[in-house]
């Protein structure tokens, strides 16, 4: 027996630099880990706790920030075995990371366009990488105005508060619309579900690309709203989430028709999704 030396499932070991609580109830944490690699917004990585397992997580840091600070950021919602084990970890602990995997948001194709980002809950994680990238390269790609619609169940569930309430609204030509399903005594903003909120804001589809990420039910209703507003299928970009094991199109887990979400996705236009069997 000899080692092959090119094992595609072998992660590199990274040290956690910082852990940030994103939500009041503590179900979402952002992990900042030492070390980086080249990737593009929308790409993911397999993050693992040794002895527990792996899970696919979007890289939420923007490529520019990662390269500068030599770190990667992952925002992880606690939902099961691996994500729970991750939540137990503190700065200094080591985790496995392999990637980047999947395709990326086609931001190179949006020159001259208005950008409309629609996110719900932890679904802002992949969008955050993209939004920060688009803001940083706004001049270069000659993007038009940027609008961000983001919602969560309650004010305490809104993620990335520094950006949604601090940094982004201050950026040139950038508007942020926040909403929550249920307000509280301190919440002065909009109350209501994301899809209805988008309908109220009624963005014009002309020269606009809409990019949406969130829980499946939100995505479904947002797609419906966008259609009503006059968006064509190729103007709408979203991501698919399917169970994954390998991340490289080999384990046969994440196919929808002949596409592997881990390799040919997770980013698809609505036009592309309509070519696939409805099994996701």
Partner 1 sequence: MSATITVDLEELETQLAGDVSRRFDVYVPVDENGAVVFRRLTTPASGWLKRSVSLTRSVLPANKLLTPQTDPVLRFQGGPTDYEVSDAAASTDLVILGVKPCDARALKLLDKVFADESDIDQVYVERRQKTVLIGVACEKPEPTCFCKAMGVSPWSSDDCDLMIYPMQGLEGLALKCSSDKGQAFLAGMHLTIRELPAETSEEIEAHYRAIPQPLSEFVGHPEALSLDSFELPIWGRISERCLSCGLCTYLCPTCYCFAVVDKSLGERGLRARCWDSCMFPDFLKMAGGHNPRPTKKERVRQRFMHKLCYTHERYGQIFCVGCGRCVEKCPVGLHFVDVLSQLRRELAGGGGDGL
Q: Can you give the length of the chain in residues?
A: 280
Which stretch, 7-15, 48-56, 91-99, 227-235, contacts ligand FAD (CB under 6 A)?
Answer: 48-56
Which stretch, 14-22, 164-172, 215-223, 244-252, contacts ligand FES (CB under 6 A)?
Answer: 244-252
For residues 11 and 169, which CB has a smaller minimum distance to ligand FAD in the complex? 11
Distance CA 255, CA 259 (A): 5
Q: Is residue 38 a contact residue for partner 1 (CB under 8 A)?
A: no
Q: Is residue 5 a contact residue for partner 1 (CB under 8 A)?
A: yes
Residue of the chain from 262, 267, 273, 276 that contacts ligand FES (CB under 6 A): 262
Residue 86, H or E segment: helix 81-87
Q: Is residue 272 a contact residue for partner 1 (CB under 8 A)?
A: no
Strands 28-34 and 12-21: antiparallel
Residue 257 interface partner, choices partner 1, ligand FES, ligand FAD, none, CB cut-off 5-8 Å depending on type = partner 1
Q: Within 10 A of 247 (CB to CB), how many other CB atoms are there?
A: 25
Please, which residues bridge with residue 151 across strands? 120, 179
Which stretch, 27-35, 44-52, 130-138, 183-191, contacts partner 1 (CB under 8 A)?
Answer: 44-52
For residues 235 and 255, which CB has a smaller minimum distance to ligand FES in the complex? 255
DSSP 189-244: SEES-HHHHHHHH----TTEEEEEES-HHHHHHHHHHHHHHT--GGGEEEE-----
Residue of the chain from 21, 250, 271, 277 that contacts ligand FES (CB under 6 A): 250
For residues 86 and 208, which CB has a smaller minimum distance to ligand FAD in the complex? 86
Q: Is residue 251 a contact residue for ligand FES (CB under 6 A)?
A: yes
Q: Are 101 and 132 in contact (CB under 8 A)?
A: no
Strands (DSSP E) along 50-145, which ranges?
A: 53-58, 71-77, 94-101, 114-120
Residues near ligand FES (CB under 6 A): 244-247, 249-254, 260, 262
């Amino acid at each position: 027996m000899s080692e092959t030396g090119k094992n595609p499932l072998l992660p590199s070991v990274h040290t956690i630099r910082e852990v940030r609580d994103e939500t009041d109830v503590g179900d979402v944490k952002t992990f900042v880990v030492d070390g980086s690699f080249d990737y593009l917004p929308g790409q993911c990585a397999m993050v693992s706790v040794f002895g527990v397992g792996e899970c696919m997580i979007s890289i939420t840091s923007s490529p520019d920030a990662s390269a500068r600070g030599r770190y990667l950021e992952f925002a992880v919602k606690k939902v099961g075995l691996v994500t729970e084990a991750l939540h137990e970890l503190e700065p200094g602990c080591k985790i496995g990371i392999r990637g980047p995997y999947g395709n990326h948001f086609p931001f190179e194709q949006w020159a001259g366009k208005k950008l409309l980002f629609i996110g719900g809950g932890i679904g802002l994680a992949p969008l955050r990488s993209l939004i920060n990238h688009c803001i940083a390269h706004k001049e270069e790609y000659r993007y038009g105005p940027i609008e961000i619609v983001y919602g969560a169940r309650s004010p305490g569930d809104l993620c990335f508060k520094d950006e949604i309430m601090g940094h982004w609204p201050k950026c040139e030509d950038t508007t942020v619309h926040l909403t929550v399903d249920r307000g509280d005594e301190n919440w002065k903003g909009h109350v209501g579900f994301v899809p209805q909120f988008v309908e109220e804001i009624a963005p014009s589809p002309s020269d606009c690309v809409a990019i949406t990420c969130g829980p499946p039910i939100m995505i479904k209703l947002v797609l419906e709203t966008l259609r009503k507003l006059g968006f064509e299928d190729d103007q709408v970009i979203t991501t698919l989430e399917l169970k994954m094991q390998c991340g490289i199109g080999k384990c046969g887990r994440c196919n929808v028709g002949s596409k592997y979400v881990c390799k040919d996705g997770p980013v698809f236009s609505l036009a592309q999704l309509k070519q696939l069997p409805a099994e996701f």
